[in-house]
Chain A
Amino acid sequence: MVPFGGWDMPVQYSSILAEIKAVRTAAGLFDVSHMGRLYISGPQSTQFLDWVLTGSAESLRVGRARYCMICNESGGVIDDTIFYRLAEDRYLLIPNAGNRPAVVEWFQNWIRTKFSGVTMEDRTESTALIACQGPNAAKIMDSLCDGEPSKVRPFAWKEVNLADKPVMIGRTGYTGEDGFEIVSEAQDATFIWKSLMDQGALPCGLGARDVLRLEAGLPLHGHEINEETSPIEAGLVRFVRFDKQYVGSAVLAQQNEDGTERKLVGLTVEGRSAPRAEYPILHQGETIGRVTSGSYSPTLDTSIAMGYVLGRHASLGQSVDLDIRGRIVPAKIVELPFYARAR
C-alpha cells in the first residue's frame, strides 16, 4: 500500500505482471474510488461546462460521456477528465484524485463570478468507483446486472442494478480494453467488488494500471500533461474544440495554427530495462527532450515510453538515444498507441 493523491492504495494485489495479463486476456478490477465524483446541475450547467472544458457539453447527448481537458488561461492542463451528461441540466464529472482540490476551487471561482445558475455537489466520499476491464468484462457485467450492460455503447452510460444495488455504469476505461466504470453508493462497494471477483475478475493495483494505460498510449496528468503543458503539445488535439470560446481557447487555437516547439511522441526500446520519467532523450549526443513515462511492456515484450522532443525531431521512425541512468540506449519513435485491442 502506498499514499496516492491523498489516499492509501495498493501498488499490486498479487503480481503486476499477472494483473496486466488478466486485463488483457480476461478481466481485471480496479478500485478507483479515489477519483472525484462532482455532480454539476442547474440551468447554466451546460454553459458553465462549455466555459471550463476543451470539449463540448452542449453537443453531448444525455446518456453519453466525453473525455476532455480543463485548461487554464495559458492553455495548460489543470486536469483531464471524463464527464457524463445525466440530464439536460445535470452532469457527472470525474477529476483525478490529486487534482480534485484544484478542480473544485477552479470551478467554484467561475460559478461564483460568472455562472450563478450552477450548483456543484462533491459526492466523492459518499460514492465509490470501480472499474472492470478486459475482454470478459461485458460477459461478467451481463451475468450480474439487469439492463444488458454489453449493449451499452462505448462512452455511453446507463443506470442498472448489479444484483440489488443501483449503479451507474459507463462503457469507459483507462486500459485500452473493453470495460465498464461503475459508480455506486459507497456502502455497496464491498459487495460489488466481491461480486465481480466471484465472476473471475482479478483485483489490480496502481502498478498494473500505469503499465496498461501506457501501453494504450493514454496520458497521465503529472507526466504527459500538467499545468505547463497544453493538450496541443500532448497530441490531444482531437479532444479540443475550436468552435467555441472558453478558458484557454485563444492560446490553444494559436498553438494549433503555429505548431508547438515540442511534441509528445511514443518510443520503443529493445529489452527489458525501461526508460523512466525525466530521463533525457538524445539525438547525436544532444539533448532533444525528456521521457515523461516509461516501463517494460509485458504485452509487447519490449520497453516503451512517452516523452517530449523538439518538433523537428518528432518524426515516426526517427532513431534517438535514451540516457538510462548513464547507459546510452538506442530507441525509435513510433506511433501511439503501442497497443490497440482487436475489435
Chain B
Amino acid sequence: MNPNDRKYTKEHEWIKVDGQAAGQAVTGITEYAQDQLGDIVYFDLPKPGDALKQLEKMGEVESVKAVSDLYSPVTGEVLEANENLLDHPELANEDPFDKGWLIKVSISDPAQLDSLMSADEYEAFIGGL
C-alpha cells in the first residue's frame, strides 16, 4: 500500500528522490495521513526559495475538523509547491502519493534520507499506533 520507491517520516510524510535530477526530491503526505485528516480544505505551503530544516514545521494542512502542522522531511530548499492544491486541496485525499504531492525540494545532505523509514518500517510504525 505504501510505495517502496520512497522514504517515510513519523509525521506521516513521504519523500521520493528524483531519478533524473540529482539532489532533488518530491514530498507529500501518506494515505494514512489523509485518512486521519478527513476532507482537506486548505494547504499552507512554503514558497520556492524558502529554506527547510529537517523535522521543523514548514506549513499547515487544514481539514474541516482540524489543522495539522507539516514538517520538512529533509534540510534543503523549496524548489516548487504544488499549485493544483490551491484550488483542489482534495487531490491530497484522492491521490496522496502522486497528484497530491506537496513540494519539490533540493536536498542539502542526502545522508539524512538514511534516517527515514522504508515502506515496511512505516507500515510497522502505523500498525503500532
Given the known inter-chain contacts A273-B62, A276-B67, please indicate yes or no for A296 contacting B38, CB distance below 8 A: no
Of A16, A271, A273, A325, the contact of B39 (CB 8 Å cutoff): A16
Check if B67 sits within 8 Å of A296, measured CB to CB. Answer: no
Q: How far is the CB of A251 from chain B (nearest CB, A)?
A: 36
Max chain A Cβ within 10 angstroms of own Cβ: one of B42, B64, B65, B67: B64
Q: How far is the CA of A211 from the CA of B63 in the complex (A)?
A: 12
Give chain A's interface residues, CB within 8 Å of chain B. 11-12, 15-17, 207, 210-211, 271-274, 276, 295-296, 298, 325
Given the known inter-chain contacts A207-B64, A211-B64, A296-B64, please indicate yes or no for A272 contacting B39, CB distance below 8 A: no
Check if A15 sits within 8 Å of B67, measured CB to CB. Answer: no
**Residues of B with C-beta under 8 A to A325:** 60, 67
Check if B39 sits within 8 Å of A15, measured CB to CB. Answer: yes
Q: How far is the CB of B15 from chain A (nearest CB, A)?
A: 25
Check if B62 sits within 8 Å of A17, measured CB to CB. Answer: no
Check if B42 sits within 8 Å of A296, measured CB to CB. Answer: yes
Of B42, B44, B65, B89, the contact of A16 (CB 8 Å cutoff): B65
Given the known inter-chain contacts A16-B38, A16-B39, please indicate yes or no for A273 contacting B44, CB distance below 8 A: yes
The number of residue pairs between A and B whose CB atoms lie closer than 8 Å in the complex comes to 38
B58 interface contact, C-beta 8 A? no
B41 interface contact, C-beta 8 A? yes
Of A11, A272, A276, the contact of B42 (CB 8 Å cutoff): A272
How many of B's residues come within 8 Å of A, CB to CB? 12
Q: Could you tell me which residues of chain B, from 23 to 68, have a CB within 8 Å of some CB in chain A?
A: 38-39, 41-42, 44, 60, 62-65, 67
Q: What is the interface of chain A mostly: helix, strand, loop, or mixed?
A: loop
Instruction: For A271, give the chain B residue with the smallest CB separation.
Output: B42
Q: How far is the CA of A17 from the CA of B64 in the complex (A)?
A: 8
Given the known inter-chain contacts A15-B38, A15-B39, A207-B38, please indicate yes or no for A295 contacting B44, CB distance below 8 A: no
Q: How far is the CA of A207 from the CA of B64 in the complex (A)?
A: 8
Across the A-B interface, the 4 shortest Cβ-Cβ residue pairs: A272-B42, A17-B39, A272-B41, A16-B64
Q: How far is the CB of A121 from chain B (nearest CB, A)?
A: 36
Of A207, A271, A273, the contact of B65 (CB 8 Å cutoff): A207
Instruction: For A207, give the chain B residue with the smallest CB separation.
Output: B65
**Residues of A with C-beta under 8 A to B39:** 15-17
Q: How far is the CA of A273 from the CA of B41 in the complex (A)?
A: 8
8 additional A-B pairs beyond A273-B42, A298-B64, beta carbons within 8 Å, are A11-B38, A12-B38, A15-B39, A17-B64, A211-B64, A272-B42, A272-B62, A296-B42
Q: How far is the CA of A16 from the CA of B36 in the complex (A)?
A: 12
**Residues of B with C-beta under 8 A to A272:** 41-42, 62, 89
Q: Could you tell me which residues of chain B, from 59 to 95, have a CB within 8 Å of some CB in chain A?
A: 60, 62-65, 67, 89
Max chain A Cβ within 10 angstroms of own Cβ: one of B41, B60, B62: B41
Check if A11 sits within 8 Å of B67, measured CB to CB. Answer: no
Instruction: For B60, give the chain A residue with the smallest CB separation.
Output: A325
Q: How far is the CB of B43 from chain A (nearest CB, A)?
A: 9
Q: How far is the CB of A205 from chain B (nearest CB, A)?
A: 10
**Residues of A with C-beta under 8 A to B44:** 273
**Residues of A with C-beta under 8 A to B65:** 11, 16, 207, 210
Q: How far is the CA of A274 from the CA of B65 in the complex (A)?
A: 10
Check if B42 sits within 8 Å of A295, measured CB to CB. Answer: no
Q: How far is the CA of A274 from the CA of B67 in the complex (A)?
A: 9
**Residues of A with C-beta under 8 A to B67:** 276, 325
Q: Can you list 12 A-B contacts with CB-CB less than 8 angstroms, sorted by A residue number?
A: A11-B38, A11-B65, A16-B39, A16-B63, A17-B64, A207-B38, A207-B64, A272-B42, A273-B42, A273-B44, A295-B64, A325-B67
Q: How far is the CB of A36 from chain B (nearest CB, A)?
A: 25
Instruction: For B69, give the chain A residue with the smallest CB separation.
Output: A325
Q: How far is the CA of A11 from the CA of B65 in the complex (A)?
A: 9
